[in-house]
Amino acid sequence: MSILKYRDALNQALREEMTSNPLVFLMGEGIGEKGGSYKVTDKLFAEFGADRVIDTPISEASFVGMGTGAAILGTRPVVELLFVDFALLTFDQLMNQAAKLNFMTGGQGRVPMVLRTQGGAGNGLAGQHSQSLEAMFYHMPGLKLVMPSTPYDAKGLLKSSIRDNDPVVFIEHKLLYTTEGEVPDGEYVVPLGKADIKRDGKDITLITYSLMTLKCLEAAEILAKEGIDAEVVDLRTLSPLDKETFLNSVRKTSRAVVVHEAVKRGGIGGDISAIIMEEAFDSLDAPVMRIAGKNTTVPFNLHLEKLCVPTTEDIVAGVRTLF
Amino acid sequence: MPKPNTETIKKMYKDAFTIRRFEEKAIEQYRVGNIRGYLHPYIGEEAIAVATISACRPDDYITSTHRGHGHAIAKGHDLKFMYAELFGKATGYCKGRGGSMHITNMAQGNLGANGIVGGGIPIAVGAGMAIKQKKGDQVVLCFFSDGGSNNGVFHESLNLAAVFHLPVLFILENNHYAVSTPIEASALVENLSIRAEGYGIPGITLDGNDAVKIYEAMEEPIRRARKGEGPTLIECKTYRHGGHHINDPGLYMPKDKLEYWKSRDPLIILKDYLNKAGVKISEIKSINQQMEKELDEAIKFGLESPEPSVEEFLAEIAE
């Protein structure tokens, strides 16, 4: 076991997969000699060379398509978008092409591409660099969607994503890159499509992912002192969604709160709430609560920015109202 | 590659004739309700597909457009599975899931027709990147139109292919219209191939109705690409014989221009070459008859094929 930063865990995953499979290669802006804007691709250029760690021009719409075409022919590109906000430029190639090609061709061509990106608010980068857009990818048939919260999950899930034969959108959080956690030294993977119970509890289920997992765990410690024992379910993979884990948890606790940073309206919390209502209604002692981002573009000002996404205090306060 | 020999010219003629009759019969099938949705006939443009694809190898790749039946036939696809796909049947290339605009046969290197204008262009660049990663010497023929060359991804893709020296041949099928908008209204340049200069790659403009001239002109771009020297933009000027799609009568196309281009029908031009090469009219007739028969058999196969299974589909997508 080692203590690794989230970004270094991702770096290890890339290194290991590029070493074991010569068809894995990377494309993105500034990922080469610079080592990437968040240092996730640090030193990979020196080890694997310019042929496999490729700096692209600022052409997101097309280099995502380039990844798609390269993947169809059997290579495994890992394409980096500096900000999930830039994914909006790529929607034809990502949503109309990569997500649909295997289906529309009757299964003739899988697209084993990973689109790595980062999102979230908190660095004062304002509206076009602070979004949480996962609901858009969640809504699109044909895409897998992964959002790890810890270094352990980040490394294991990135390895699995690279090995997966379908397009995976892999969203990191900008505030998680320097967080630390235990990572095994040997080979391991985390399978896609499996949620993880980060904290066992019996009184209420907190369903969450990415940075909000850490906030839920902090909230759970505070709530424990008040006699409320919270179970924290980290979804890890949003698509395909592991319904059984959170439904079993709700059947045990009778109360559910979905916590995500993304805007509440149209967010994945609505879908999860509906699933709980449809499949575990009789277990509920209270309606499913959603604690999520406010319906706004993220402002630049620090104090205003802080108001837009859930805090630990928001989660604690929300849970208290259910008891 | 020197001038195409007689056998090659015969093959190009046979493919062009097959495309022409495939499309005409597809229009008939559409009119009686056996094909639904859209149909974008390649009629009038046949020389481009048959010449560029004949100049390449079977293991080279293509990406195509919504007007993709011609490329598919030139690539050697089975006419039965093509009609079956147009009819939406389980025996179609895409099991009835794609239809006319998404005809694909990856086993023969056709990475797919595409319903988005320009959608195949970045994919072609990606295929070129994969070839480079695997250190192969195949090339990718990337088909798109004058309309597609105004799309953002065209410009990004030419630049990407140039910068990474990818083996992509960008075949710009300039049929002078984007649906009903003439190219004069959406570009200030006479020859779109000049756009190549902005990306540091060669660009040429060809008579898109003369298959032999196109075939000859492909030699150098293919050589460059296979040697890792990078992409070329090849503009082929041509004209549709009808509207944009089957329900567009093309009333905006001036009669005199249409007559001019019809007088330069790619099939007529190919037949002239065959005459000059000493191929008898009876042999041409025999090719025609054989392909008519194959096409009619293919239509019959498609019509008699089963629908895709509803149960299997629902089971596949169940959550």
Q: How is chain B classified by DSSP, letter by letter?
A: --S--HHHHHHHHHHHHHHHHHHHHHHHHHHTTSS-S-----TT-HHHHHHHHHTS-TT-EEE--SS-HHHHHHTT--HHHHHHHHTT-TTSTTTTSS-GGG--BGGGTB----SSTTTHHHHHHHHHHHHHHTT----EEEEEETTGGGSHHHHHHHHHHHHTT--EEEEEEE-SEETTEEGGGT-S-S-GGGGGGGGTS-EEEEETT-HHHHHHHTHHHHHHHHTT---EEEEEE---SS-SSTT---TTS-HHHHHHHHHT-HHHHHHHHHHHTT--HHHHHHHHHHHHHHHHHHHHHHHHSPPPPHHHHHHHH--
Residue of B156, B165, B166 to mutate, interface with A, max A Cβ within 10 Å: B156
In the predicted model, is pLDDT for residue B244 greater than 70? Answer: yes
Instruction: Tell me the pLDDT tens digit for each residue of A51-79.
Output: 999 999 999 999 999 999 999 999 999 99
Output the six-digit token pair for A29: 């802006």
Is A57 in Cβ contact with B159 (below 8 Å)? yes
Is any Cβ of chain A less than 8 angstroms from the Cβ of B130? yes
CA torsion angle A213 A216 A218 A223 (round to 10): -160
pLDDT score, position B319: 83
Residue B245 neighbours by CB under 8 Å, 6+ apart = B38, B39, B40, B41
Query: Which CATH class name applies to B6-317?
Result: alpha beta
Read off the pLDDT of each residue in A271-294 and give the average, rounded to a whole number: 98
For residue B114, the chain A residues in CB contact (below 8 A) are: 97
pLDDT tens sequence across A42-52: 999 999 999 99
Q: Are the beta carbons of B133 and A61 separated by less than 8 Å?
A: no
- The third-level CATH classification (topology) of the domain covering A2-183 is Rossmann fold (3.40.50)
Q: Which amino acid is at B55?
A: A
Distinct helix (H) and strand (E) counts, chain A: 12, 14
Where is A185: in which H helix or E strand? none
Inter-residue contact B124 to B63 (CB < 8 Å): yes
Tell whether the torsion through CA atoms of B110, B116, B117 and B119 is positive or negative.
Answer: negative
**pLDDT tens, residue by residue, A313-323:** 999 999 999 99
Detail the DSSP E strand segments found in chain A. 2-5, 24-28, 53-55, 76-80, 114-119, 144-146, 168-173, 180-183, 196-199, 204-208, 230-234, 237-239, 256-263, 289-293
Across the interface, do A66 and B126 touch by the CB < 8 Å criterion?
yes
Q: Is A60 among the residues known to form the active site?
A: yes
Cβ pair A269, A258 in contact under 8 A = yes
At residue B3 the predicted structure's pLDDT band, cuts being 50, 70 and 90, is confident
Q: Residue A200: its pLDDT value, please?
A: 98
What is the C-alpha separation between B140 and B121, in angstroms, rounded?
10
- Tokens encoding B221: 């771009």
Rg of chain B over CA atoms, in angstroms?
19
Do A239 and A138 meet the contact criterion of CB atoms below 8 Å apart?
yes
Mean pLDDT of B80-87: 98
* Residue A35, SS3 per DSSP: coil
Which residue of chain B comes nearest to A242, CA vs CA?
B319
pLDDT at A2: 97
Taking only the tens place, the pLDDT of each residue in B23-81 is 999 999 999 999 999 999 999 999 999 999 999 999 999 999 999 999 999 999 999 99
pLDDT at B1 over 70: no
Given a cut of 70, whether residue B243 has pLDDT beyond it is: yes
What is the SS3 assignment for A34?
A: coil
Name the phi and psi angles at A23, rounded to 5: -90, -5
Give, as one character, the DSSP assignment of residue A207. Answer: E
pLDDT in tens, A198-223: 999 999 999 999 999 999 999 999 99
Which residue among B106, B159, B163 sits closest to A109, beta carbon to beta carbon?
A: B106
Q: Say how far apart CA B86 and CA B100 lie, in whole Å.
A: 5
Residue A66 half-sphere exposure, CB side, CA atoms within 13 Å? Answer: 33
Range A196-320 classified under CATH 3.40.50.920: yes
Residues 54-113 of B with CB under 8 A from A: 61, 63, 92-98, 102, 104-107, 111-112
Asked whether the beta carbons of B231 and B158 are under 8 A apart, the reply is yes
Q: Concatenated DSSP letters for A254-300? A: S-EEEEEEEESTTSHHHHHHHHHHHHHGGG-SSPPEEEEE-SSPPPS
Please write the tens of the pLDDT for every residue from A90-147. Answer: 999 999 999 999 999 999 989 999 999 999 999 999 999 999 999 999 999 999 999 9
Collapsing DSSP to helix, strand or coil, A165 comes out as: coil
A106–B96: do the CB atoms touch at under 8 Å? yes
For range A244-265, the mean pLDDT: 98
Task: Please list every residue in chain A whose beta carbon sits closer than 8 Å to the beta carbon of residue B119.
Answer: 65, 92-93, 96-97
* The two structure tokens encoding residue B318: 């169940």
A309 contacts A293 by C-beta, under 8 angstroms: yes
The CA-CA-CA angle for residues B284, B287, B293, to 5°, reads: 140
Mean pLDDT over the full length of chain A: 98
**Strand, coil or helix: what is A63?**
helix
By the CB < 8 Å criterion, does A68 face chain B? Answer: yes
Residue-level pLDDT at A183: 98
Which pair of tokens denotes residue A227? 């006699």
Gap between the Cα atoms of A277 and A287, Å rounded? 8
- Mean pLDDT over all residues of chain B? 97
Tens of pLDDT, residue by residue over B156-197, are: 999 999 999 999 999 999 999 999 999 999 999 999 999 999
The domains of chain A are located at: 2-183, 196-320
Mean pLDDT score, A228-249: 98
Q: What is the DSSP letter of A42?
A: T
Place of tokens 């457009």: B65
Q: List Cβ neighbours of A59 (8 Å cut-off, separation of 6 or more).
A: B156, B157, B159, B160
Quick one: tokens of B163? 């910068």
Asked if A108 and B104 come within 8 Å (Cβ–Cβ), the reply is yes
Q: Angle B109-B112-B117 (CA atoms, 0-180°, nearest 5)? A: 140
Per-domain residue ranges for chain B?
A: 6-317
Average pLDDT of the residues in B257-284: 97
Within this chain, domains A2-183 and A196-320 share the same CATH topology: yes
Residue with tokens 């391991």: A188
Report ipTM (2 d.p.): 0.95
B318 by Cβ neighbours in 10 Å (0-12 / 13-18 / 19+) ranks as exposed
Is B164 an 8 Å CB contact of chain A?
yes
3-state secondary structure of A73: coil
Rounded-to-integer distance, Cα B306 and Cα A234, Å: 46
